[in-house]
């Protein structure tokens, strides 16, 4: 659950990425155990970070700042796309060696690609939140 925390008008901007992280985490929990372990851990940590449930930092206002929380979540999700690509490649390799059946491999690759797309969308949204646009006064 996302906790409102007096971080100002920017906090609602984290609500959609928070929901995306939770949905992806739930999807990872239902996925193949080999895929789910590390990816689920990354997504749950990002969800906790975006939800504002961090351990108190040395600077109290730092954990309330939505931009800081988005940056932390981006850092937590840094290696997740590579892990998903590796999973998809290993399934393809196992299929080529005929270690897994065609339909099973297709289902795993499909699930892996869906998780990869969702993670990339989440990271893109977080990047947009952390990008500061500066405007000069006229």
92 found inside a domain = yes
- Is pTM beyond 0.75? Reply is yes
Quote the pLDDT of residue 2: 45
- List the structure tokens of 51: 């939800």
Q: Which domain holds residue 50?
A: 11-130
Determine which of 20-24, 101-105, 117-121 has the lowest per-residue pLDDT on average: 20-24
23 found inside a domain = yes
pLDDT-derived band of residue 1, with 50, 70 and 90 as boundaries? very low
1 found inside a domain = no
80 found inside a domain = yes
pLDDT-derived band of residue 62, with 50, 70 and 90 as boundaries? low
The better pLDDT of the pair 81, 11 is held by: 81
The residue-averaged pLDDT of 33-51 equals 81
45 found inside a domain = yes
Quote the pLDDT of residue 9: 44
The dihedral sign for the CA sequence 114, 127, 77, 19: negative
Average pLDDT, the chain: 80
Quote the pLDDT of residue 121: 94
Structural domains in the chain (count): 1
Alpha carbons 103 and 17: distance in angstroms, whole number: 32
135 found inside a domain = no
Stretch (H or E) spanning 59: none
Contact yes or no for 43/80 (Cβ under 8 A): yes
The residue-averaged pLDDT of 104-127 equals 92
4 found inside a domain = no
pLDDT-derived band of residue 8, with 50, 70 and 90 as boundaries? very low
Quote the pLDDT of residue 82: 92
76 found inside a domain = yes
């Amino acid at each position: 659950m996302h906790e409102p925390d007096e971080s100002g008008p920017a906090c609602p901007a984290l609500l959609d990425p928070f929901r995306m992280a939770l949905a992806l985490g739930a999807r990872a929990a239902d996925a193949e155990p080999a895929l789910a372990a590390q990816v689920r851990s990354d997504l749950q940590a990002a969800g906790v970070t975006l939800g504002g449930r961090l351990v108190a930092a040395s600077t109290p206002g730092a954990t309330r700042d939505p931009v800081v929380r988005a940056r932390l979540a981006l850092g937590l999700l840094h290696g997740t796309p590579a892990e998903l690509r590796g999973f998809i490649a290993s399934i393809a390799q196992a299929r080529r060696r005929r270690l897994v059946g065609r339909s099973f491999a297709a289902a795993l690759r499909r699930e892996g690609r869906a998780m990869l797309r969702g993670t990339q969308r989440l990271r893109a949204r977080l990047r947009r939140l952390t990008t500061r646009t500066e405007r000069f006064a006229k």
